[in-house]
């Protein structure tokens, strides 16, 4: 059973952002500090990638482990209540992500997913992003 009233739950859920999240902002600062320039939330591309490197035909998504079902992560847990609501919702998110990556690759774009838990090791993440972006040139 939910411990919040419907109005309280609605207010809480309205605080969950889809753009400009803390993990996304951290990745943006990291990438900008490496000297790479990008566009934000490419509306013309499937899935509206968080960072678009048009000249490199590369995109980066910054995914929250819970919302996007990062299978190997401690943050990927099922909610304790209302599983009949949450399970289909979170599974649809995952299925949509898979379809989006497939569509982007079919259009000739390279895709990198940065998971929220990977922000715990910024030097490793920085190398991973740099290797991804420099592999094109």
Asked whether residue 5 is domain-assigned, the answer is no
Asked whether residue 74 is domain-assigned, the answer is yes
Asked whether residue 2 is domain-assigned, the answer is no
Asked whether residue 65 is domain-assigned, the answer is yes
Q: For residue range 4-35, what is the model confidence (pLDDT) as tens digits?
A: 677 776 676 665 666 668 899 999 999 999 99
**Structural domain range at position 125:** 17-134
Q: Which CATH number covers residue 86?
A: 3.40.960.10
pTM of the model: 0.84
Report how far residue 48's alpha carbon sits from residue 50's, in angstroms, rounded to the nearest whole number. 6
Asked whether residue 4 is domain-assigned, the answer is no
Q: For residue range 69-120, what is the model confidence (pLDDT) as tens digits?
A: 888 887 778 888 888 888 999 999 999 999 999 999 999 999 999 999 999 9
Number of domains making up the chain: 1
Sequence-distant (6+) residues with CB within 8 A of 45 are 52, 59, 104, 107, 109
């Amino acid at each position: 059973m939910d411990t919040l009233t419907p109005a309280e739950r609605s207010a809480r859920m309205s605080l969950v952002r889809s753009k400009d999240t803390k993990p996304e902002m951290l990745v943006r600062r990291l990438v900008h500090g490496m000297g790479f320039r990008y566009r934000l939330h490419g509306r013309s591309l499937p899935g509206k990638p968080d960072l678009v490197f048009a000249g490199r035909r590369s995109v980066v998504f910054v995914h929250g482990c819970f919302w996007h079902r990062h299978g190997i992560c401690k943050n990927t847990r099922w909610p304790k209540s209302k599983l009949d609501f949450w399970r289909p919702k979170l599974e649809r998110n995952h299925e949509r992500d898979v379809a989006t990556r497939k569509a982007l690759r079919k259009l000739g774009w390279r895709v990198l997913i940065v998971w929220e838990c990977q922000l715990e090791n910024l030097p490793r993440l920085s190398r991973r992003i740099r290797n991804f972006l420099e592999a094109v040139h």
